[in-house]
A and B are shown apart, each in its own frame.
Chain A
């Protein structure tokens, strides 16, 4: 850490930390909002927020939680060979005792860098300036040895990818025990028994035996639980969780969120939860700070941020994410452009170039985080007071009704598709990635395919385009003009494009391969680029010159070049930033609008799938368990798995109430799927003697509606009451 001696050298011209007093005043209210949040009842929670905060607004002395962590005027610069990146410029916030504080932002917003600087984990060429105090003790000036006694002991940290964050050559127990032995001076056997306790506390079944397992023997959710056990081993005051659920499935994400909430309540620790997902934040956070371009845009209690947004960026984010609980009639609002990287000390609002409210002063002065008209709520927008009158900033683009093109004929039909891969070495098992799937895609329509990772949706998509040969079954593609053309858009726009080719060649490749008759290739490429919203001069450049969203546009242009009737999109937006996701989703909708182009849209994000699909198929362990029109599926899911999946989706609204318990356990191994209904091991209403022995067939239960569940009545589609079971 290169921080010694760099403590708070305020550069001239930068604002002084005048908001300290304000922050103290703010603290008085936030304890009350926090406590109200702890109620599981939303009415209760909202009442608490509104009444107490207005009553106590800036009056009483600090009765709220004392600040455990105070970050003041944090600056982080990375001195790269060719430029300086100002990752964080002047972040100031406090985290109270027992509070869950969310740092929200897109990639490059500085949220993770902030967390790493709190931990003192940034290494040169990073330079950290400013003050970070833990219980009043300055951390930035600590010597390495002193800092090590803080890390893991007073602040624990959990990272995004639990697989790569655990050492593959040590047992889980040893990795938990390492913290204990480092800080609590435990011997090997005491550390081991304490590790077993901790694994039990984070919900690992049979911890006594699992303690000697290696990370690769754990499932994704269990690995993240083990990471949490490591972070909490020494009972730290603060837990920093950096995108802890981003790599996990929604059902597992929900388990982890509930686990952290439980642990936080029991231990009364503070949590800094870093994420790009406004849905998860609404679920977990007491206070929220929204970061963009290395600066905090808006900060306040969660209910305030969502209910009384005081920054155009936050409102743009909230409007651009597909919402599972709102209508899908309109296009998503788009934040134009892409997130910024700040390379010089900012002198203007870092968001102004993408802001619909941009005024002259936004370019000439650097807005500070200042109090707004709302209690305990600060904004770094010069015009935050005008935000409410400004009305809807992020208007729906072309909110007209969708025109379905094409003639309803079936373009792709997969019948009895199954794909079995050889299992692990020496075992004679096969992985039943897809295990008997029938589906059809109609012209001009979008079939959404959703499911958790490992359910076989990607394999299904690749089988449809012919990248994988099905073990049994067949794919028929309708012929048109003597050709059958199906194309694919992949998840990762960075690795799915040859870095050595120019964009012109990337896009022209399908034309050449298929020997399409194109009179002027350059004109055709320019036309395709225009269709996906890129300038024609992009043709001469290389993939690395484009951002993720732009590359995904190029990938779409490449697919369109083959003049396909159907494009299989495999997680096309999941690698993109929230604000860019909306652009791609809108683009896909526009391309389809009025044309006969069909999509198979594969994704894990149920809200995104809902936004774009006409029909949705839900997959579980290689099988379609429910298939229905979009509105039927989302408004009245029939299969218990569909219900659980929908209920796991975090809704970006702190007042949203969950209707049921989270789904327990992980996805079973597709090489040994459970007998009977494959879902029965996790199903809340499974009936022993039926669900665990008989395989349910995918049966039609209504028009355009199929369900594979014994408990769904085929005549009047609803779940039958299992004997003595709870009502669904």
Chain B
């Protein structure tokens, strides 16, 4: 892989700076005394000395520019501070939660790209046919489903009525399973949230793929391939697919990052101990350092996903390779 475009790297750097700055500014822009955010409802009971102490502890008495520099320092050194609520190091909390979110988002990414791309390709290939029309209608309907509703529906069917799958958590509590039994347990818990996320992601992938395929099918070079005597299958795999997939990759990258945010709702519905749930807890507990850290992770996820798409593009399309 050739070295990345300097311009591109510059763009990423700008995004990071803007995101970090926003992250820094947000709690400070919120209405109300920061003290109230830190100490919560107890703020009225504190003595002036205690207040000064708290403010000095978290560095809020420093000039704003120093606070900003400190924030950068903490990010660069990887020390995200401590939770106001639990007092635990945030690094630890994130490390605990991130894998679960990655499992959900990654699982949903794989499933939705497989279903979306395959169904989208079939739909476009037989445009207006017996498969395409119901599929297209169904996908548009699915796309408009609210995620919490779908999650609750699945819980009520599979966990409550049928009782075949667990409805909350990532592992069975206090089961102390090992080996395959543990894997199985984790997967059982992940099935419903992943399904919910996948169902919500698939229509977008499908629509992007279908549209992209239709675009490519109308290209002159498809006619050239036909005029060479290539079979339909050969045209589909040799000429259409690779050209059509590039926009889908971009979509998947955005979608993957979006799943992180979407996880807030899904993980709450399924009481899943991921990053989204952490955000939910932090928001309800006004635990600002945790929220800031979680947002930072979201930003990083978005950037990583975009970077991957940027790196994949030249592989798929020689025109985007820098010579």
CB distance from B247 to the nearest CB of A (A): 13
A121, B226: Cβ atoms under 8 Å? Answer: yes
Given contacts A168-B319, A216-B318, A426-B5, contact A182 B220 (CB under 8 A): no
Per the 8 Å Cβ criterion, residues 112-148 of A in contact with B are 119, 121, 148
Q: Does A546 contact B (CB under 8 A)?
A: no
Q: Interface size on A (CB < 8 Å)?
A: 32
Q: Mark A148-181, 1 if CB is under 8 A from B, else 0.
A: 1111110011010100111111100001001100
Q: Does A556 contact B (CB under 8 A)?
A: no
Complex CA distance for A629 and B219, rounded to whole angstroms = 44
| Contact residues in B for A214 (Cβ distance below 8 Å) | 318-319
Complex CA distance for A57 and B224, rounded to whole angstroms = 41
Of chain A, the residue at the smallest CB distance from B6 is A426
B238, A178: Cβ atoms under 8 Å? Answer: yes
Complex CA distance for A164 and B319, rounded to whole angstroms = 13
Given contacts A148-B231, A152-B227, A178-B230, contact A167 B5 (CB under 8 A): no
Q: Does A260 contact B (CB under 8 A)?
A: no
Query: B228: which of A164, A216, A230 is its contact (CB, 8 Å)?
Result: A230
| Contact residues in B for A217 (Cβ distance below 8 Å) | 323
Q: Mark B301-323, 1 if CB is under 8 A from A, else 0.
A: 00000000000000011110011
Q: Is the interface of B mostly helix, strand, loop or mixed?
A: helix
| Contact residues in A for B231 (Cβ distance below 8 Å) | 148
Complex CA distance for A8 and B5, rounded to whole angstroms = 61
Per the 8 Å Cβ criterion, residues 220-251 of B in contact with A are 220-221, 223-231, 234, 238-239, 242-243
Complex CA distance for A443 and B6, rounded to whole angstroms = 51
Q: Classify chain B: how many residues form its interface, as a range.
A: 20 to 34
Given contacts A159-B220, A230-B224, A426-B322, contact A169 B229 (CB under 8 A): no
Of chain A, the residue at the smallest CB distance from B322 is A426
CB distance from B213 to the nearest CB of A (A): 14
A169, B242: Cβ atoms under 8 Å? Answer: yes
B227, A167: Cβ atoms under 8 Å? Answer: no
Complex CA distance for A159 and B319, rounded to whole angstroms = 22
B319, A151: Cβ atoms under 8 Å? Answer: no
Q: Mark A676-691, 1 if CB is under 8 A from B, else 0.
A: 0000000000000000
| Contact residues in B for A151 (Cβ distance below 8 Å) | 226-229
Given contacts A164-B220, A168-B318, A426-B7, contact A157 B229 (CB under 8 A): no
Q: Mark A368-392, 1 if CB is under 8 A from B, else 0.
A: 0000000000000000000000000
CB distance from B307 to the nearest CB of A (A): 17
Q: Does A326 contact B (CB under 8 A)?
A: no
Query: A165: which of B220, B230, B242, B316 is its contact (CB, 8 Å)?
Result: B220
Complex CA distance for A214 and B7, rounded to whole angstroms = 24
- Between B228, B230, B242, the greatest number of chain A beta carbons within 10 A of the residue's beta carbon is seen for B228
CB distance from A724 to the nearest CB of B (A): 40
A165, B221: Cβ atoms under 8 Å? Answer: yes
Complex CA distance for A153 and B230, rounded to whole angstroms = 11
Query: B221: which of A119, A148, A167, A179 is its contact (CB, 8 Å)?
Result: A167
CB distance from A425 to the nearest CB of B (A): 6
Q: Does A227 contact B (CB under 8 A)?
A: yes
CB distance from B251 to the nearest CB of A (A): 18
| Contact residues in B for A149 (Cβ distance below 8 Å) | 229
Complex CA distance for A159 and B226, rounded to whole angstroms = 12
Of chain B, the residue at the smallest CB distance from A171 is B318
B223, A168: Cβ atoms under 8 Å? Answer: no
Complex CA distance for A387 and B80, rounded to whole angstroms = 93
| Contact residues in A for B318 (Cβ distance below 8 Å) | 168-169, 214, 216
Query: A119: which of B6, B7, B220, B227 is its contact (CB, 8 Å)?
Result: B227
B243, A157: Cβ atoms under 8 Å? Answer: no
| Contact residues in B for A230 (Cβ distance below 8 Å) | 224, 228
Complex CA distance for A148 and B319, rounded to whole angstroms = 30
Given contacts A216-B318, A425-B322, A426-B5, contact A169 B243 (CB under 8 A): yes
Complex CA distance for A159 and B224, rounded to whole angstroms = 8
B316, A169: Cβ atoms under 8 Å? Answer: yes
Q: Does A183 contact B (CB under 8 A)?
A: yes
Given contacts A164-B220, A167-B221, contact A182 B230 (CB under 8 A): yes
Complex CA distance for A596 and B241, rounded to whole angstroms = 58
B5, A425: Cβ atoms under 8 Å? Answer: yes
Complex CA distance for A207 and B115, rounded to whole angstroms = 43
CB distance from B277 to the nearest CB of A (A): 42
CB distance from A273 to the nearest CB of B (A): 16
| Contact residues in B for A178 (Cβ distance below 8 Å) | 225, 228, 230, 238
CB distance from A22 to the nearest CB of B (A): 32
Query: A216: which of B219, B224, B230, B319 is its contact (CB, 8 Å)?
Result: B319
Complex CA distance for A151 and B6, rounded to whole angstroms = 47
Complex CA distance for A149 and B231, rounded to whole angstroms = 10
| Contact residues in A for B225 (Cβ distance below 8 Å) | 167, 178
Complex CA distance for A567 and B163, rounded to whole angstroms = 78
Per the 8 Å Cβ criterion, residues 209-258 of A in contact with B are 214, 216-217, 227, 230-231
Complex CA distance for A153 and B234, rounded to whole angstroms = 16
Complex CA distance for A652 and B243, rounded to whole angstroms = 41
Q: Mark A413-451, 1 if CB is under 8 A from B, else 0.
A: 000000000000110000000000000000000000000
B243, A148: Cβ atoms under 8 Å? Answer: no
| Contact residues in B for A425 (Cβ distance below 8 Å) | 5, 7, 322
Complex CA distance for A415 and B228, rounded to whole angstroms = 52
Query: A168: which of B7, B238, B243, B322 is its contact (CB, 8 Å)?
Result: B243
| Contact residues in B for A179 (Cβ distance below 8 Å) | 228-229
A169, B223: Cβ atoms under 8 Å? Answer: no
A150, B6: Cβ atoms under 8 Å? Answer: no
Of chain B, the residue at the smallest CB distance from A183 is B229
A227, B224: Cβ atoms under 8 Å? Answer: yes
Query: B227: which of A157, A170, A216 is its contact (CB, 8 Å)?
Result: A157
B220, A161: Cβ atoms under 8 Å? Answer: yes
CB distance from A393 to the nearest CB of B (A): 38
Complex CA distance for A175 and B230, rounded to whole angstroms = 11
B5, A165: Cβ atoms under 8 Å? Answer: no
CB distance from A686 to the nearest CB of B (A): 29
B239, A121: Cβ atoms under 8 Å? Answer: no
User: 5 nearest interchain CB pairs?
Assistant: A152-B229, A152-B228, A151-B229, A164-B220, A157-B227
Given contacts A175-B224, A425-B322, 16 further A-B contacts (CB under 8 A): A119-B226, A149-B229, A150-B229, A152-B227, A152-B230, A153-B229, A159-B224, A164-B220, A165-B220, A165-B224, A169-B318, A178-B228, A182-B230, A183-B229, A425-B5, A426-B322
Show 14 A/B contacts (Cβ-Cβ < 8 Å), sorted by A: A119-B226, A121-B227, A151-B226, A159-B223, A167-B243, A168-B318, A168-B319, A175-B224, A214-B319, A230-B228, A425-B5, A425-B322, A426-B6, A426-B7
